[in-house]
Structure 1
Amino acid sequence: MKIIFCLFLVFNLYAKDIIGSIDKLDFPAFNLENVESRIDTGATNSSLHCTNIEKIDDKFVKCNILGKESFTNKISKIKEVKSSNGISQKRYFIKTQIIILGKTYVSELSLNDRRNMTYAFLLGRDILSQDFIVDVSKKDLSFNLKESIKN
């Protein structure tokens, strides 16, 4: 019995959740649900669409998240980030909660104007490396799980 329990623990320690290439994720701190998200193993950092990004002081940044009301957040770091087109820009990062596959994760996100991008949120390796394997043939696994629990 002890051997079976030990095997169970080992398998669970190394178990990873499967996520598709596209999903709808929730951001409870901003009261946002079903945010269209691209799961991108090529992106180092995760990035959330914001406009009117304005540093208030050394500790806080204010912005409109997904074109909605203005939010003020504590800056977790400021970093030069190179975008997919090769251009570097200074970005503000905040820590916030993201709900993926029914689990809540706290992660750092860069704030970036993504209005010309297809997806409002880019989920990068900073979060993916924690618990996920990406299956590019799948989509909306987190959203579908949430909907099945509701019904």
Structure 2
Amino acid sequence: MLLGFVFLAQSAMAHESSPSMAILGAVENVKIVEEDVVLEARMDTGATSSSLNALNKERFEKDGEDWIRFEIIDPDDEDARITLERPIERIVRIRRHSGESQERPVVRMEFCIGDRLLTADTSLIDRTALTYQTLIGRSHMAGHILVDSGEEHLRAPDCPADDQ
């Protein structure tokens, strides 16, 4: 049992002293790098993948690849929309609690989160009824971010200009 406490203490010290991990709150502002749009996001360690509120989704072909055009709500004017386009990485089928299945397109999204420029697969769904347009899951945060669930807005998006 004593050995278990030693390992636990060493693990905690490793996380505290790790310069590679940023500590962020449960809710943070994140920037969609390509469009330079800042959105409020839920940092959700319980979700494997990230998701983004996507409205008016339209699939199309560009240079022989499947792409998707979609809109997000402008954070500065909830009646306005911002159009984004991304190549489709894959389509996932999610089975809902009701038993119905839902297809969701997945795209690669680059977000500036704190001082981290992080890219990961992000599913496009209608999150209009939810509090946050963006949910950042473990796939985006793994190895880079620790979440303090009792805090919010600890770091504004501030990625070095050379990385963008």
Normalising by structure 2, report the TM-score: 0.71
SS, match of residue 156 in structure 2: helix
More strand by share: 2
Unaligned runs of 5+ in 1: 1-10, 147-151
Q: Percent identity?
A: 25
For these two proteins, the number of residue pairs brought into alignment is 135
Distance 1:55 1:44, change over 3 A: same
* TM-score using structure 1 length: 0.77
Q: 5+ unaligned residues in a row in structure 2: which ranges?
A: 1-15, 75-80, 160-164
Indicate conservation of the 8 Å contact 2:53/2:127, yes or no: yes
* Residue 142 (structure 1) shift: 2.2
SS of the residue aligned with 1:66? strand
- Among residues 57, 66, 72, which one is paired with 1:65 in the alignment? 72
The residue type equivalent to 1:101 in the other structure is: G
Higher helix content, 1 or 2 = 1
Aligned equivalents of 1:15 and 1:106: distance in 2? 16
Q: Tell me if structure 2 keeps the 8 A contact 1:59–1:74.
A: yes
Measured in 2, the distance between the counterparts of 1:24 and 1:86 equals 34
Residue of structure 1 equivalent to 2:140: 127
1:37 maps onto 2:44 in alignment: no
Q: Highest Rg: 1 or 2?
A: 2
Q: Which amino acid aligns with 1:55?
A: R
Structure 1 stretch displaced more, 23-32 or 112-121: 23-32
Q: Say what the alpha-carbon RMSD is for the aligned residues.
A: 2.6
Structure 1 pair 59–21 and aligned structure 2 pair: CA distance change class (3 A): same
